[in-house]
Amino acid sequence: MEKNRYVFLFFELLVTGIFVIGLVSADLESWISDTALPSIGAGEGWQYIVLVLIVVVIVFAVLYDLTMFFPFISSPWVRYVVAGGLTVASVLFGGIRAVSVALLTIASGIGAIGVFLMIIVSLIIAIVIFTGFGGFVRRLAERVRANNERTRAMRVADEAAAGINEAMEFRRQTG
- 52-71 pLDDT, tens digit per residue, is 778 788 888 888 888 888 88
In a domain, 151, yes or no: yes
Report pLDDT for 151.
Answer: 92
Residue 43 structural domain: 2-114
Number of separate domains in the chain: 2
Q: At what angle do helices 46-66 and 2-26 cross, to 10 degrees?
A: 170
In a domain, 126, yes or no: no
Is residue 162 located within the same domain as residue 96? Answer: no
In a domain, 127, yes or no: no
In a domain, 122, yes or no: no
Report pLDDT for 126.
Answer: 76
Is residue 108 located within the same domain as residue 49? Answer: yes
- Dihedral sign for Cα 74, 78, 82, 83, please: positive
In a domain, 32, yes or no: yes
Q: Is 148 exposed, middle or buried (0-12, 13-18, 19+ CB in 10 A)?
A: exposed
pTM for the full model? 0.38
Nearest to 103 by CA among 36, 12, 13, 28: 13
In a domain, 41, yes or no: yes
Report pLDDT for 35.
Answer: 47
Is residue 105 located within the same domain as residue 52? Answer: yes
In a domain, 8, yes or no: yes
- Dihedral sign for Cα 82, 84, 87, 88, please: negative
Is residue 110 located within the same domain as residue 170? Answer: no
Q: Which stretches in the chain have pLDDT values below 50? A: 28-29, 31-32, 34-43
Report pLDDT for 152.
Answer: 92
